[in-house]
Amino acid sequence: MVVANDVFAAYKEFGREQGYDLRWLERRDVWGETVEGRAGSGILLQDVDHGVAAHVPDESRNQTGRPRGSIARSGVPRVGNYSVRTKADVWLRNGAELYEEAVARQWSSATDIPWHSITPLPDDIERAECQLATFITEIEFVAGDVPGKWIASVTPDYYEPRMFLLSQVMDEARHLDVFRKRALVNGGGLMRRAGSTQVVGANIDSARDFTEMSARLHITGEGAVLTLFRMGELMAYNDAEKHIYRLCAQDESRHVAFGVMHLQYLGSVETDRREEIHSYLDDAEIALVTGASGQNPVARGLPSNAALAILLGHGEDKVDDGYNTLLAIRQRQVKEYVQRVRVAGFGERFENGRANPLLEQYVRAN
């Protein structure tokens, strides 16, 4: 309830006479402003942030966990060692929208997948399904662990990207859970990991900067997985698998959008860092074309590569046909990567010779 101004002033005066510090009662610029929900979507983060709560500082000195827009207090101990305190290092213009979409589109691997549609498959197909599911489970651990390490490093003043990363961790937990279930539900089981010398996500996990991590994870790593999920119909043998790929692609598309929009923002407000970002993309492209990160399921030399060829060819006896389809997926991965980088505002690398030359080879391969 909003108290009338004269009554409120009387309360404050009485409190001061009694020796109380009532500065916390001072009314802010948003006092009395109400928010009406949107039809069909309710009240969103971007609806309630106005006035002082909407001000996002270019640099934050908030080390106390104080919510953005609240009143600071002196003498409060630090509760977080936030290393990400510069807006450009983590910001994107649609962070709140992506978070709200993530919340609205959560799904359950237990109840939203028609598991009953899975019937016995030929041994070679089931082995391939289980090998692919094992590998995807492995890479989804990485896709959740890596952004999870950065969440506590981001100041609460930049709560929108921080909350989105929290939603991404939940998404990735659901992905590794659903593919683990697929490996075990039809009598197959978990198969080989990526390989004794291949550490999945190693170069992503070693990123020293949030933007470096995002370029490697969201732009290339998750982008490559998104392409595969979008083409899941080609390797699905029942409605359960089709649902898995569709729902996972829906989630991955948000993660990729986060990375694209973050690069777009940083490149536009801190132009002196564009060369730095190009260097991240240089490394990311090596991983994309060679599979160096171990995160691309269709990279040569990984167990998932042969499994995909069997699934796409519909059997070990048609594996050559499967590899031809797999090459088409590789080409699509590269083309979609190029499009993402262009949207992020760094398309000049494809005109000035900066991009990895192997990208063009994949696009032109027959």
Average pLDDT of 273-277?
96
* Most confident of the following: 44-48, 137-141, 178-182: 178-182
Strand partners, 42: 38
Lowest mean pLDDT among 113-122, 194-203, 313-322: 194-203
Average pLDDT over residues 213-228: 93
Give the residue from 254, 281, 276, 279 showing the smallest Cα distance to 266.
Answer: 276
Tens of pLDDT, residue by residue over 30-54, are 777 888 888 888 998 888 888 888 8
Binning pLDDT at 50, 70 and 90, where does residue 197 land?
very low
| pTM across the whole model | 0.89
Is 60 exceeded by the pLDDT of residue 139?
Answer: yes
Is the predicted pLDDT of residue 202 greater than 60, yes or no?
A: no
**Residue 336 pLDDT > 60, yes or no?**
yes
Average pLDDT over residues 166-176: 97
Average confidence score pLDDT of the chain: 89
- pLDDT at residue 346 above 50? yes
Look up residue 110 and give its two tokens: 């237990």
Distance between CA 6 and CA 9 in Å, rounded?
5
Max alpha carbon distance in the chain (Å)? Answer: 90
Q: Which residues contact 161 (CB under 8 A, 6 or more apart)?
A: 90, 91, 92, 95, 154, 258, 262
pLDDT recorded at residue 49: 87
pLDDT at 115: 98
Mean pLDDT of 101-128: 97
What is the predicted pLDDT for the residue at 18?
79
Q: Is the pLDDT of residue 204 over 90?
A: no
Full set of structural domains in the chain with CATH:
87-364 (1.20.1260.10)
Percent of the chain with pLDDT over 70: 90
Phi, psi of 354, rounded to the nearest 5 degrees? -75, -30
User: Is the predicted pLDDT of residue 56 greater than 50, yes or no?
Assistant: yes
Place of tokens 């990567």: 337
DSSP helix/strand/coil, 26:
coil
Least-confidence region, from 10-19, 159-168, 260-269: 10-19
Of 76-85, 291-300, 336-345, highest mean pLDDT: 336-345
CA dihedral over 226, 227, 230, 232, signed as positive or negative: negative
